[in-house]
Amino acid sequence: MSNLLNICGIVIASSQYPDATLQQFYRQYYHCEIKAEQIKAEVQSPSDLSMFFPYQDTWWPVFTIDQISSESFQKFIHNGIRPGIILPDEVFGFPHYFLLKEAVSQGAIPIVLFKTEQPQYFAAKATFSTAIGLRPMAAFVSTGWDENLISQPAGSYIIQLNSANLPLPSREVRQGQHLFYSAKGFNGHVSGYEIIINPPADLPLSNIRYPQLGISWNFNNIDYESTPEHVSTNLIGYIFIVLSIVVVPLDLILTTTYPDLLGTF
Protein backbone atom coordinates (compact mmCIF):
# COMPACT_ATOMS: atom_id res chain seq x y z
CA MET A 1 0.00 0.00 0.00
CA SER A 2 1.41 3.40 -0.97
CA ASN A 3 1.94 6.27 1.41
CA LEU A 4 1.21 9.75 0.10
CA LEU A 5 3.93 12.16 1.17
CA ASN A 6 3.77 15.94 1.07
CA ILE A 7 7.18 17.52 0.48
CA CYS A 8 6.90 21.31 0.38
CA GLY A 9 3.54 20.98 -1.35
CA ILE A 10 4.68 18.27 -3.79
CA VAL A 11 2.87 14.97 -3.37
CA ILE A 12 4.79 11.73 -3.91
CA ALA A 13 3.62 8.13 -3.50
CA SER A 14 6.02 5.85 -1.64
CA SER A 15 5.69 2.23 -0.56
CA GLN A 16 7.40 3.09 2.73
CA TYR A 17 7.40 6.09 5.02
CA PRO A 18 10.93 7.57 4.92
CA ASP A 19 13.27 6.80 7.81
CA ALA A 20 14.64 9.47 10.14
CA THR A 21 17.94 9.78 8.24
CA LEU A 22 16.26 10.36 4.88
CA GLN A 23 13.95 12.92 6.47
CA GLN A 24 17.03 14.68 7.85
CA PHE A 25 18.56 14.77 4.34
CA TYR A 26 15.40 16.42 2.99
CA ARG A 27 15.49 19.06 5.70
CA GLN A 28 19.19 19.70 5.14
CA TYR A 29 19.33 19.74 1.33
CA TYR A 30 15.79 20.59 0.21
CA HIS A 31 14.78 22.56 3.33
CA CYS A 32 11.54 20.57 3.47
CA GLU A 33 9.68 18.62 6.09
CA ILE A 34 8.09 15.37 4.95
CA LYS A 35 4.49 15.00 6.03
CA ALA A 36 1.83 12.38 5.45
CA GLU A 37 -0.76 13.55 2.91
CA GLN A 38 -4.39 12.53 3.23
CA ILE A 39 -5.83 14.35 0.22
CA LYS A 40 -5.35 12.63 -3.13
CA ALA A 41 -3.85 15.57 -4.98
CA GLU A 42 -1.83 15.32 -8.18
CA VAL A 43 0.91 12.78 -7.52
CA GLN A 44 4.36 13.35 -8.99
CA SER A 45 6.79 10.63 -10.05
CA PRO A 46 9.73 10.12 -7.65
CA SER A 47 12.11 10.40 -10.63
CA ASP A 48 10.80 13.93 -11.31
CA LEU A 49 11.01 15.18 -7.73
CA SER A 50 14.43 16.82 -8.19
CA MET A 51 12.96 19.16 -10.84
CA PHE A 52 11.08 21.03 -8.11
CA PHE A 53 14.28 21.91 -6.24
CA PRO A 54 16.47 23.96 -8.61
CA TYR A 55 20.21 23.73 -8.19
CA GLN A 56 23.28 23.93 -10.39
CA ASP A 57 22.72 21.00 -12.75
CA THR A 58 25.76 18.72 -12.90
CA TRP A 59 26.12 15.01 -13.47
CA TRP A 60 28.49 12.07 -13.96
CA PRO A 61 28.05 9.07 -16.30
CA VAL A 62 28.16 5.48 -15.08
CA PHE A 63 27.90 2.44 -17.36
CA THR A 64 27.18 -1.26 -17.08
CA ILE A 65 29.52 -3.77 -18.72
CA ASP A 66 27.21 -4.36 -21.69
CA GLN A 67 27.61 -0.70 -22.68
CA ILE A 68 31.42 -0.62 -22.87
CA SER A 69 31.37 -0.88 -26.65
CA SER A 70 28.52 1.60 -27.04
CA GLU A 71 28.84 4.89 -28.87
CA SER A 72 28.02 6.75 -25.68
CA PHE A 73 30.75 5.13 -23.56
CA GLN A 74 33.36 5.62 -26.27
CA LYS A 75 32.31 9.25 -26.68
CA PHE A 76 33.14 10.01 -23.06
CA ILE A 77 36.46 8.16 -23.23
CA HIS A 78 37.53 9.91 -26.44
CA ASN A 79 36.71 13.29 -24.91
CA GLY A 80 38.86 12.65 -21.87
CA ILE A 81 35.96 12.08 -19.48
CA ARG A 82 36.35 9.18 -17.06
CA PRO A 83 32.99 7.41 -16.62
CA GLY A 84 32.20 4.92 -13.90
CA ILE A 85 31.90 1.24 -14.78
CA ILE A 86 29.83 -1.10 -12.60
CA LEU A 87 31.56 -4.46 -12.21
CA PRO A 88 29.22 -7.41 -12.85
CA ASP A 89 27.66 -8.94 -9.77
CA GLU A 90 28.15 -12.46 -11.03
CA VAL A 91 31.49 -14.20 -11.42
CA PHE A 92 32.86 -13.08 -14.78
CA GLY A 93 35.16 -15.01 -17.08
CA PHE A 94 38.28 -13.95 -18.92
CA PRO A 95 36.51 -12.24 -21.87
CA HIS A 96 34.63 -9.91 -19.51
CA TYR A 97 37.74 -9.40 -17.40
CA PHE A 98 39.82 -8.26 -20.35
CA LEU A 99 36.95 -6.05 -21.54
CA LEU A 100 36.79 -4.38 -18.11
CA LYS A 101 40.56 -4.14 -17.86
CA GLU A 102 40.72 -2.37 -21.21
CA ALA A 103 37.97 0.04 -20.17
CA VAL A 104 39.82 0.87 -16.95
CA SER A 105 43.09 1.35 -18.83
CA GLN A 106 41.24 3.90 -20.98
CA GLY A 107 40.13 5.79 -17.89
CA ALA A 108 36.93 4.12 -16.63
CA ILE A 109 36.51 4.05 -12.84
CA PRO A 110 35.48 0.70 -11.28
CA ILE A 111 32.43 0.55 -9.01
CA VAL A 112 31.37 -2.55 -7.07
CA LEU A 113 27.78 -3.56 -6.29
CA PHE A 114 26.89 -3.30 -2.60
CA LYS A 115 24.08 -5.21 -0.87
CA THR A 116 23.28 -4.12 2.67
CA GLU A 117 22.27 -7.67 3.60
CA GLN A 118 25.63 -9.04 2.35
CA PRO A 119 28.38 -6.56 3.29
CA GLN A 120 31.01 -9.30 3.37
CA TYR A 121 30.25 -10.16 -0.24
CA PHE A 122 31.14 -6.59 -1.17
CA ALA A 123 34.30 -6.76 0.94
CA ALA A 124 35.40 -10.00 -0.72
CA LYS A 125 34.67 -8.74 -4.21
CA ALA A 126 36.43 -5.44 -3.55
CA THR A 127 39.53 -7.35 -2.41
CA PHE A 128 39.46 -9.53 -5.52
CA SER A 129 38.90 -6.56 -7.79
CA THR A 130 41.86 -4.77 -6.25
CA ALA A 131 44.04 -7.82 -6.84
CA ILE A 132 43.23 -8.00 -10.54
CA GLY A 133 43.65 -4.31 -11.30
CA LEU A 134 40.00 -3.25 -10.99
CA ARG A 135 40.27 -1.46 -7.65
CA PRO A 136 36.86 0.03 -6.77
CA MET A 137 36.40 3.73 -6.12
CA ALA A 138 32.75 3.62 -4.99
CA ALA A 139 29.94 1.26 -4.04
CA PHE A 140 26.75 0.95 -6.08
CA VAL A 141 23.43 0.20 -4.36
CA SER A 142 20.85 -0.93 -6.92
CA THR A 143 17.90 -1.28 -4.53
CA GLY A 144 17.52 2.32 -3.39
CA TRP A 145 18.16 4.06 -0.10
CA ASP A 146 18.61 1.96 3.05
CA GLU A 147 19.25 3.58 6.44
CA ASN A 148 21.66 0.75 7.29
CA LEU A 149 24.14 2.31 4.86
CA ILE A 150 25.16 4.88 7.46
CA SER A 151 26.60 2.05 9.59
CA GLN A 152 28.75 0.70 6.74
CA PRO A 153 32.43 1.59 6.18
CA ALA A 154 33.24 5.13 5.09
CA GLY A 155 33.27 6.16 1.46
CA SER A 156 31.13 7.04 -1.55
CA TYR A 157 27.87 5.18 -2.19
CA ILE A 158 25.88 5.60 -5.40
CA ILE A 159 22.20 4.92 -4.72
CA GLN A 160 20.03 3.95 -7.69
CA LEU A 161 16.50 5.36 -7.73
CA ASN A 162 13.89 2.88 -6.52
CA SER A 163 10.68 4.02 -8.19
CA ALA A 164 8.59 2.64 -5.32
CA ASN A 165 10.28 4.73 -2.64
CA LEU A 166 11.39 8.27 -1.95
CA PRO A 167 14.76 9.00 -3.61
CA LEU A 168 17.77 10.69 -2.10
CA PRO A 169 17.98 14.44 -2.65
CA SER A 170 19.83 15.16 -5.90
CA ARG A 171 22.83 16.60 -4.14
CA GLU A 172 26.17 15.42 -2.85
CA VAL A 173 24.80 14.15 0.47
CA ARG A 174 27.33 13.99 3.29
CA GLN A 175 26.69 12.08 6.50
CA GLY A 176 29.76 11.74 8.73
CA GLN A 177 32.40 9.90 6.69
CA HIS A 178 29.87 8.81 4.07
CA LEU A 179 28.96 10.45 0.78
CA PHE A 180 25.73 9.46 -0.95
CA TYR A 181 24.82 10.18 -4.57
CA SER A 182 21.47 9.72 -6.31
CA ALA A 183 21.57 7.68 -9.54
CA LYS A 184 19.00 7.03 -12.26
CA GLY A 185 18.61 6.31 -15.95
CA PHE A 186 18.23 9.40 -18.10
CA ASN A 187 14.57 10.48 -18.17
CA GLY A 188 14.85 13.68 -20.18
CA HIS A 189 16.32 15.97 -17.56
CA VAL A 190 19.16 16.38 -15.08
CA SER A 191 18.29 18.33 -11.93
CA GLY A 192 20.76 19.09 -9.18
CA TYR A 193 23.68 16.66 -8.99
CA GLU A 194 22.87 13.22 -10.34
CA ILE A 195 24.65 10.09 -11.49
CA ILE A 196 23.22 9.03 -14.86
CA ILE A 197 23.31 5.31 -15.65
CA ASN A 198 24.00 4.41 -19.29
CA PRO A 199 23.37 7.94 -20.63
CA PRO A 200 22.50 8.28 -24.34
CA ALA A 201 25.20 9.33 -26.79
CA ASP A 202 23.48 12.59 -27.71
CA LEU A 203 23.72 14.10 -24.22
CA PRO A 204 26.00 17.16 -24.19
CA LEU A 205 29.28 16.75 -22.36
CA SER A 206 28.90 20.00 -20.44
CA ASN A 207 28.30 20.16 -16.70
CA ILE A 208 30.17 16.93 -15.95
CA ARG A 209 31.33 16.80 -12.33
CA TYR A 210 33.08 13.86 -10.70
CA PRO A 211 31.90 12.67 -7.31
CA GLN A 212 34.36 12.47 -4.46
CA LEU A 213 35.79 9.02 -4.99
CA GLY A 214 36.96 6.50 -2.42
CA ILE A 215 35.57 3.52 -0.55
CA SER A 216 36.53 1.48 2.51
CA TRP A 217 35.77 -2.08 3.52
CA ASN A 218 36.68 -4.64 6.17
CA PHE A 219 37.56 -8.16 5.15
CA ASN A 220 38.60 -10.85 7.63
CA ASN A 221 38.94 -8.12 10.29
CA ILE A 222 41.36 -6.19 8.10
CA ASP A 223 40.57 -2.63 7.04
CA TYR A 224 41.08 -1.45 3.46
CA GLU A 225 40.75 2.07 2.11
CA SER A 226 40.74 2.67 -1.64
CA THR A 227 41.40 6.24 -2.78
CA PRO A 228 42.20 7.67 -6.22
CA GLU A 229 45.87 7.50 -5.27
CA HIS A 230 46.24 4.02 -3.76
CA VAL A 231 44.83 1.32 -1.50
CA SER A 232 45.79 1.46 2.17
CA THR A 233 45.78 -1.52 4.52
CA ASN A 234 48.17 -3.31 6.88
CA LEU A 235 50.82 -5.88 6.01
CA ILE A 236 48.41 -8.82 6.28
CA GLY A 237 45.96 -6.95 4.05
CA TYR A 238 48.57 -6.56 1.33
CA ILE A 239 49.36 -10.27 1.64
CA PHE A 240 45.67 -11.06 1.10
CA ILE A 241 45.72 -8.95 -2.05
CA VAL A 242 48.80 -10.78 -3.36
CA LEU A 243 47.24 -14.17 -2.56
CA SER A 244 44.10 -13.12 -4.38
CA ILE A 245 46.07 -12.81 -7.62
CA VAL A 246 46.87 -16.53 -7.36
CA VAL A 247 43.35 -17.56 -6.35
CA VAL A 248 41.44 -15.57 -9.00
CA PRO A 249 42.10 -17.97 -11.92
CA LEU A 250 40.70 -20.84 -9.84
CA ASP A 251 37.61 -18.80 -9.09
CA LEU A 252 37.08 -18.09 -12.77
CA ILE A 253 37.44 -21.75 -13.67
CA LEU A 254 35.40 -23.23 -10.81
CA THR A 255 32.79 -20.40 -10.84
CA THR A 256 32.62 -20.36 -7.07
CA THR A 257 31.49 -17.22 -5.32
CA TYR A 258 33.92 -14.65 -4.01
CA PRO A 259 33.06 -15.02 -0.31
CA ASP A 260 33.30 -18.81 -0.39
CA LEU A 261 36.66 -18.74 -2.06
CA LEU A 262 38.21 -15.96 -0.01
CA GLY A 263 36.88 -17.55 3.15
CA THR A 264 39.35 -20.41 2.68
CA PHE A 265 42.34 -18.12 3.36
In this prediction, residue 44 has a pLDDT band, given cuts at 50, 70 and 90, of: confident
Q: How many domains is the chain partitioned into structurally?
A: 2
Q: Both 30 and 140 in a single domain?
A: no
Same domain, 135 and 34: no
- Assess whether 9 and 93 both reside in one domain: no
- In this structure, the answer to whether residues 119 and 28 fall within a common structural domain is no
With 80 as the cut, is the pLDDT of residue 254 above it?
no
pLDDT score for 92: 67
Mean pLDDT to the nearest integer, 175-199: 94
Per-residue pLDDT at 257 exceeds 70: no
Domain residue limits at 64: 58-262
Give residues with Cβ within 8 angstroms of 184, minimum separation 6: 47, 160, 161, 167, 194, 195, 196, 197
**pLDDT value of position 96:** 87
Question: Residue 90, Cβ neighbours under 10 Å: how many?
Answer: 10
When pLDDT is averaged across residues 63-70 and rounded to a whole number, the result is 95
Q: What percentage of the chain exceeds 70 in pLDDT?
A: 90
Looking at per-residue pLDDT, the higher value among 260 and 67 belongs to: 67
Residues 72 and 41 in one domain: no
pLDDT at residue 211 tops 90: yes
* pLDDT for residue 91: 64
Q: Are residues 175 and 93 in the same domain?
A: yes
Q: Are residues 238 and 118 in the same domain?
A: yes
pLDDT digits (tens, 9 = 90+) for 75-117: 999 999 999 999 988 766 778 889 999 999 999 999 999 998 8
pTM of the model: 0.90
Q: How confident is the model at residue 47 (pLDDT cuts 50, 70, 90)?
A: confident
| Higher pLDDT, residue 121 or 232 | 232
**pLDDT score of 248 more than 50:** no
Query: What value does the mean pLDDT of the chain take?
Result: 88
> How does pLDDT run across 122-163, given as a tens digit for each residue?
998 899 899 989 999 999 999 999 999 999 999 999 999 988
- Residue 93 CA: distances (Å) to CA of 62, 99, 169, 205, 259: 22, 10, 37, 33, 17
Instruction: Give the domain-ending residue among 30, 52, 74.
Output: 52
